């Protein structure tokens, strides 16, 4: 029986994963673990300085819980590959251990089309995260990205085929979980066919039951059968699945009705971040948190400002005291959290030394294999590839996907073509025999980027090669360009593979895992 006051607050804390600032435990996160009994923390780039520092940070979080006599904490992260990599800023110098292995994106795995490579990617991610003290990875993305205008998923998905997403997603889950890190399949019941970013507004998917069963739901049903550790919910409305119009995160018919009752799922259900505008603007975080738990969520991502985190936990504690969150519902979650903690060894020290698990040559070779199998030459009408030109310019057109992901491709190309130069977009056309314009977008490119590409093409004609280091859909906006190469992400292995394709050291072997109508010849 939950007593009012501290017991209710601690019970509320056990439902929450929070973020914090700094590369050491802040006074606030220490207090939330020791006094509030929170379930754990989500790491972001603001928490990363070096590999040893991350390992020390996660160990410190567990030590705080141990000394306070509270349950060990979940330490989670979004480590999807491609542009979604929280470790990118780690310095490469002689005073720090190397960065964790940068892995190509899910869509790069889709272009490679090999489940064995997807399993290896999961193994690499899991082995390195486990060595760093991370026990839950918010991956893979099981959304079927069949809408080229999707502004938030794109190359984070394996492709636009439910069968491909299922096959590669299950292999990735198997690899990740075999290394001792729980996988969180996201974003249930599907975020692939939207034109609205739920970080900014509330999307709707209006398809009927048959379509949802065959496309959106199929990969998640397979993940449940594969005993995935967690399923992350989508802040998306599915009227066919819940006519009340609430997003899946807050929907009992979707979470309890489909995941628990129909599919028999026994793992954890985790919300996406409650700080996203789809929740904040429509429902308020406190009320949404209570609704999400009542609907079936076991863990809530209470991310963002301290006031938002406090509002979530205060509303939950009050709902627990009043019985608005029934005791049997709370007991179910506590049982599942206990079982999951035992299954994944939460709080146990890593069994593998950092030097033996992080940034090994074996892992780097796997990342290179994936990238080489993925890079896709969509078209080369003028026979520009491999490069015969001696004067090659590289223009960065895209602003990147945020968080320092704008690709610097010229240094990669100079490894194999020393004369390659980074040039501004308005550089005189006559100065170069070939120009490579690098984009890195998600969803539809900005109109300014499209205009720039078209202007470069007008000046250069057949001498232009577009390299898409993000989503492959950019070509739909400038289908007239003569050569188009795709890496599906700005990670180092993928850019290196593109450079080697361009100079003829390897051939392009990837195949588009999504449709680009009218643009493949």
The residues assigned a catalytic role are: 199, 272
Residue showing tokens 């439902």: 15
Calpha distance 198→196 (Å, rounded): 6
- Residue 110, classed as helix, strand or coil, is helix
The first and second tokens of residue 210, run together, are 């048959």
Contact 482, 380 (CB under 8 A): yes
Helices (H), 190-301: 209-214, 218-225, 252, 277-280, 285-295
CA atoms within 13 A on the CB side of 314: 8
φ, ψ of residue 380 to 5 degrees: the values are -155, 75
Scored b (16 or more CB within 10 A) or e, 47-77 reads: bbbbbebbbbbbeebbebbeeeebbbbbbbb
- The reply to whether omega before 189 is within 30° of 0 (cis) is yes
Calpha distance 72→67 (Å, rounded): 10
466 DSSP β-pair partners: 437, 484
Calpha distance 351→101 (Å, rounded): 19
CA angle 476, 482, 487 (to 5 degrees): 65
Strands (E) in 346-416, as ranges, are: 376-380, 392-396
Contact 338, 267 (CB under 8 A): no
Calpha distance 347→139 (Å, rounded): 21
φ, ψ of residue 333 to 5 degrees: the values are -65, -45
CA distances to 78, 143, 333 from 328, in Å: 31, 32, 9
CA distances to 19, 38, 204, 288 from 201, in Å: 22, 28, 10, 15
**Sheet arrangement for strand 434-439:** 376-380, 483-486, 464-468, 434-439, 392-396, 421-422
Contact 499, 469 (CB under 8 A): no
Cβ neighbourhood burial of 28 (10 Å; 0-12, 13-18, 19+) = middle
**Chain centroid to CA 498:** 22
């Amino acid at each position: 029986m939950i007593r009012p006051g501290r017991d209710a607050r601690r019970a509320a804390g056990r439902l929450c994963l929070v973020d914090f600032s700094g590369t050491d435990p802040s006074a606030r996160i220490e207090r939330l673990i020791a006094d509030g009994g929170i379930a754990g923390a989500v790491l972001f780039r603001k928490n990363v300085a070096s590999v040893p520092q991350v390992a020390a940070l996660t160990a410190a979080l567990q030590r705080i819980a141990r000394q306070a006599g509270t349950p060990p904490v979940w330490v989670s992260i979004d480590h999807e590959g491609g542009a979604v990599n929280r470790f990118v800023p780690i310095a490469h110098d002689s005073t720090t251990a190397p960065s964790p292995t940068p892995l190509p994106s899910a869509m790069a795995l889709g272009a490679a089309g090999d489940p064995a490579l997807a399993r290896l990617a999961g193994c690499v991610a899991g082995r390195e995260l486990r060595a760093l003290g991370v026990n839950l990875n918010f991956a893979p993305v099981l959304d079927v990205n069949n809408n080229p205008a999707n502004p938030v998923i794109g190359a984070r998905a394996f492709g636009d085929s439910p069968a491909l997403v299922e096959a590669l997603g299950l292999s990735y889950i198997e690899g990740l979980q075999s290394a001792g890190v729980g996988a969180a399949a996201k974003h249930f019941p599907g975020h692939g066919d939207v034109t609205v970013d739920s970080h900014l507004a509330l999307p709707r998917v209006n398809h009927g039951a048959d379509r949802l069963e065959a496309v959106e739901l199929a990969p998640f049903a397979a993940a449940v059968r594969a005993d995935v550790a967690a399923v992350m919910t989508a802040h998306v409305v599915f009227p066919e699945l819940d006519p009340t119009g609430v997003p899946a995160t807050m929907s009992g018919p979707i979470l309890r009705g489909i995941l628990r009752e129909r599919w028999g799922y026994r793992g954890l259900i985790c919300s996406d971040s409650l700080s996203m505008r789809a929740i904040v603007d429509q429902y308020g975080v406190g009320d949404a948190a209570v609704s999400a738990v009542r609907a079936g969520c076991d863990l809530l991502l209470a991310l963002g400002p301290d006031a938002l985190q406090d509002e979530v936990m205060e509303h939950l504690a009050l709902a627990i005291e009043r019985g608005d969150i029934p005791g049997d519902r709370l007991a179910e979650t506590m049982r599942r959290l206990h079982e999951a903690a035992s299954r994944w060894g939460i709080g146990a020290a890593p069994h593998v030394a950092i030097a033996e698990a992080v940034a090994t040559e074996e892992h780097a070779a796997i990342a290179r294999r994936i990238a080489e199998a993925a890079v896709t030459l969509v078209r080369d009408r003028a026979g520009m590839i491999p490069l015969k030109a001696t004067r090659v310019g590289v223009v960065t057109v895209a602003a990147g996907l945020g968080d320092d992901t704008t690709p610097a491709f010229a240094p990669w190309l100079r490894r194999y073509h020393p004369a390659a130069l980074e040039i501004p977009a308005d550089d005189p056309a006559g100065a170069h025999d070939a120009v490579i314009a690098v984009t890195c977008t998600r969803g539809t490119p900005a109109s300014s980027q499209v205009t720039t590409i078209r202007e470069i093409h007008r000046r250069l004609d057949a001498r232009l090669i577009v390299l898409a280091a993000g989503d492959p859909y950019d070509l739909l906006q400038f289908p007239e360009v003569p050569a188009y190469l795709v890496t599906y992400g700005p990670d180092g292995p993928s850019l290196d593979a593109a450079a080697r394709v361009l100079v003829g050291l390897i051939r392009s072997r990837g195949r588009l895992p999504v449709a680009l109508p009218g643009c493949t010849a």
